[in-house]
Amino acid sequence: MDPVDLGLLALLFLSAALLSGMRIAFATAFCGFIGLWILRGYTPAATLASMIPHGHLAVYPLLVLPLFILMGYFAYYAGITKDLYWTARQWLGHLPGGLAIATIFGSAGFAAACGASTASAAVMGRIALPELKRFGYDDKVSAGCVAAGGTMATMIPPSVLLVIYGFIAEESIGALLLAGFLPGLLEAFSYSLMLFLRFKVNPSLGPSMERVQWAGRVKSLKGVWGMVTLVVLVMGSIYAGIATPTEAAAVGAGGALLLALPRLSKGNFKSAMLETARTTSMIFAIVAGVLIFVHFLGFTGMPAQLAENIVQIDTKPIVILVAVLALYLVLGMFLDGIGMLLLTVPIILPAIKALGIDPIVFGILVVRMVEIGLITPPVGLNVYVLKGVAPHISMSNIFRGCGWFVFVDLINVAILITFPQIILFIPQTMIN
């Protein structure tokens, strides 16, 4: 059998395994090993399958993942989420849809400490939904704010997905994290503008709160200064070239621990460490399985053949880019973000580079499409997480509440494609 045909057949078997409910780590490792066995024989396949994961995972830069995850858990137990949400309420609550807008900015603030979207949605759901319900906000709007607000954790640094993309694409993780900052802010402000206009047109969606005096607003800032300082230190040290992303992540985890100490019980500390270990183990298991499969695909020559075929298409690169992003929109409805990146980027990225598209721009755009997949049916992970936090809101209402946010997301993607300098501005000014 032709190696390229074998690669295509392996992708079909992998798709069937994933649709059957098989874990992505085991499905990719199994399909990759069998493919290597057919191509190279049993002994070389067994040797490669045992050496590849260790060779790629036992590297210093990947320490950034558990450290950023630990930073997020310590930030949660420090009560930072509540403080950020309270501050946003004091400053924005008097606007049309003020409490919903405060939820968006509270989510954006927590995203700066937590790189996992589902965790952000779960935490903000517990904090914001009771308040939104108490003030009589529409359930669909409330659920949409929390579910969509959680997606910002995949864009605003520190982002687990951007770290994984940098690892796969062999691009600077520091540059990618910095590149996500302005698109993340664009997301927060565009969500807020959409909510402001909706509530302005239809005040029945929820009432505005009483305006808080300036003294009260300034007083509310005392709960967030520590977190703001921490984020500035972490991202500022990466930007200035003082620290690598791994070193900055260590500073962030240590700083978050110091912030958490006054409220951190022995049980919460143990929980933070265990959850970090579980999350890291899950991510590394997926990466290990996909690495075996991707190396098999490399031996088949399929990625190179695909890249050559795409480059030969007689159309503008931006048209191909839009088509690829549309594919990610569809895939995001069925696959989780980490698995989707690991499976597709090694295949598609060679063609993207050959078309002259900046891989950092592509990375940000792909992660944005992954974000959209988190709130679109049938498998919107943030929606399922939120349903567990808010069983009184139906799944259909949560998905309907996310509709306006998906619309804004697509506009944002169009803006980033048209003006890629939004993505590249901060990384290009990075001090080397």
Please list the rounded mean pLDDT of every run of 10 residues in the chain (432 residues). 86 85 88 93 92 84 89 86 90 94 93 84 90 93 94 91 92 94 96 97 92 90 84 89 91 91 89 91 88 88 80 86 91 78 88 93 95 86 88 91 96 97 92 53
pLDDT at 163: 93
Nearest alpha carbon to residue 276 among 252, 260, 253, 247: 253
pLDDT at 2: 83
Look at residue 412 in the predicted model and tell me its pLDDT. Answer: 97
Q: What pLDDT does 205 receive?
A: 94
Q: Where are the domains of the chain?
A: 3-428
Q: What is the pLDDT of residue 432?
A: 52
Of residues 399, 323, 303, the one with CA closest to residue 365: 323
What pLDDT score was predicted for residue 431? 54
Tell which residue, 360, 358, 373, has the closest CA to residue 409: 373
User: Distances from the Cα of 272 to the Cαs of 77, 157, 293, 301, in angstroms?
Assistant: 8, 20, 32, 43
Residue 165 and residue 29: Cα distance in Å, rounded? 19
Structure tokens at 19: 């649709």
Give the CA count within 13 Å in the CB-facing half-sphere of 86: 13
pLDDT in tens, 364-407: 999 999 889 889 987 788 888 899 888 889 989 999 999 999 99
Q: Which of 104, 78, 72 is nearest to 91 (CA)?
A: 104
**What's the confidence (pLDDT) of residue 72?**
87
182: which 2 tokens?
Answer: 């302005």
DSSP assignment of 238-306 equals HHHTSS-HHHHHHHHHHHHHHHHTTT--HHHHHHHHHHHHHHHHHHHHHHHHHHHHHHHHHHHTHHHHH
Contacts 24+ apart (CB under 8 A), 247-252: 249/63, 249/64, 249/67, 249/68, 249/71, 249/158, 250/63, 250/67, 252/67, 252/68, 252/71, 252/113, 252/158
pLDDT tens readout for residues 75-108? 888 888 888 899 999 999 999 999 999 999 999 9
Integer Cα distance of 134 and 124 in angstroms: 15
